[in-house]
Structure 1
Amino acid sequence: MPLLILILILLVPYLEFLVFMEVGEAVGGFNAFLATILTAVLGVYLIRLQGFEVMQRMHRNLQNGESPIEEIFHGFFLLIAGLFFLLPGFITDSIAVLLAITPVRNFLGRAIVKNIEVHYYGHGRGPRAGPGAGQGPVIDGEYRQEDESPSQLEDDRDNPDHKA
């Protein structure tokens, strides 16, 4: 995994440069530069608006006692999209535009949740599945409840009037 991240860190700027040069040849270098700046400004504005909507929905869900997990995923993907909009280049801007689309975020969020459920719960089978799932192991045993504290029991044993 660290090797994959290193390859991406080195490969993405190279690919961005190649795409920028191709776009620059097609529409002119200055126009390509303006397009990069314009997509960054408009993209961050769009992400900001959508982020406020997600925060309002999350707040509403929390007030209603509902789980905000969907909004958390939307917020995470919007954060990634905002970072991609700030990086100069057409490839990262294209990925950011995709992440800014709500159905795409829904799809990715569901895929992640399903992946977590499969890895954690084991395909819905096994000891963690069904009613009582996730409550830990069941320990069989017996117990008895004593009304007196241990210090009172010791005092009673020392007392000659105490009958055992």
Structure 2
Amino acid sequence: MRSLIVPLVILGLPIAEIAGFVVVGRELGLAMTLLLVLVSGVAGVLLLRIQGLGTLRRVQEAARAGKDPGPELLGGALILVAAILLIVPGFITDIAGLIVFLPPVRRAISAFLQTRLTILTTGSGFYSGGRGSDRPRGPTIIDLDTDEFSRRNDDENGPSPPSNRISG
């Protein structure tokens, strides 16, 4: 059943959009229909710029504070999808894009997707630990010169491969 849904949407959406153009064109006229399509595209670009920059700022603030930026990133992805839906010509995609731009709808979609997705994040790249920091530190790195290091070739694992040997 799921395999039939995607082709039907791919084929059905353009047909529905064309039908929407015909219906709106009959009611408002050609010039107003084209103006609406142009205005919705410009609105999509402007909303993407305004909302996208705000989302980017929230992601940076969450990362600086050591919080998980995953929900903010998911919200940003939904804003991107909504903007693309507005930019694509058509009234059905415009309505869907405007609905996704609404914050309560975005939160509901985000909550639904978070139950179905696994978002993995690694440590924040903004951490700069200093003295008095209670965060765990990474592995200790010891820098050795070639004369301070030797490897036994007859250990229990057999001789070491040539790439791991240090020649003096």
For Structure 1 versus Structure 2, the TM-score category normalised by the shorter chain is 0.5 to 0.7
Give the whole-Å Cα distance in 2 for the aligned partners of 1:56 and 1:109: 19
Listed one character per residue, the Cα deviations across residues 102-133 of structure 1 (whole Å, up to 9, x for unaligned) are: 1111111011112348xxxxxxxxxxxxxxxx
Aligned-pair identity (%): 27
The residue correspondences of 1:116-135 to structure 2 (distance < 5 A) are: 116=117
The residue correspondences of 1:29-68 to structure 2 (distance < 5 A) are: 29-68=30-69
Q: Which residue of 1 aligns with 2:28?
A: 27
Give the whole-Å Cα distance in 2 for the aligned partners of 1:8 and 1:62: 38
- Identify, as 1 or 2, the structure richer in helix: 1
TM-score in terms of structure 1 length: 0.68
Listed one character per residue, the Cα deviations across residues 20-44 of structure 1 (whole Å, up to 9, x for unaligned) are: 1111111111111110111110122
Give the whole-Å Cα distance in 2 for the aligned partners of 1:28 and 1:107: 37
8 Å Cα contact 1:20/1:90 also seen in 2? yes
8 Å Cα contact 2:44/2:84 also seen in 1? no
Task: Describe the SS at the equivalent of 2:66.
Answer: coil
Query: Which runs of 5 or more residues in structure 1 are unaligned?
Result: 118-148, 153-164
Q: What is the Cα deviation at residue 151 of structure 1?
A: 4.3
Task: Describe the SS at the equivalent of 1:65.
Answer: coil
Q: Which residue of 1 aligns with 2:99?
A: 98
Give the whole-Å Cα distance in 2 for the aligned partners of 1:2 and 1:88: 26
8 Å Cα contact 2:85/2:97 also seen in 1? yes
Give the whole-Å Cα distance in 1 for the aligned partners of 2:4 and 2:41: 29
Give the whole-Å Cα distance in 2 for the aligned partners of 1:112 and 1:84: 19
8 Å Cα contact 1:73/1:105 also seen in 2? no
Q: Which residue of 1 aligns with 2:18?
A: 17
The residue correspondences of 1:138-153 to structure 2 (distance < 5 A) are: 151=155
State whether structure 2 residue 111 is matched by structure 1 residue 110: yes
Give the whole-Å Cα distance in 2 for the aligned partners of 1:83 and 1:2: 24
More divergent stretch after superposition (100-109 vs 53-62): 100-109
Give the whole-Å Cα distance in 1 for the aligned partners of 2:3 and 2:82: 22
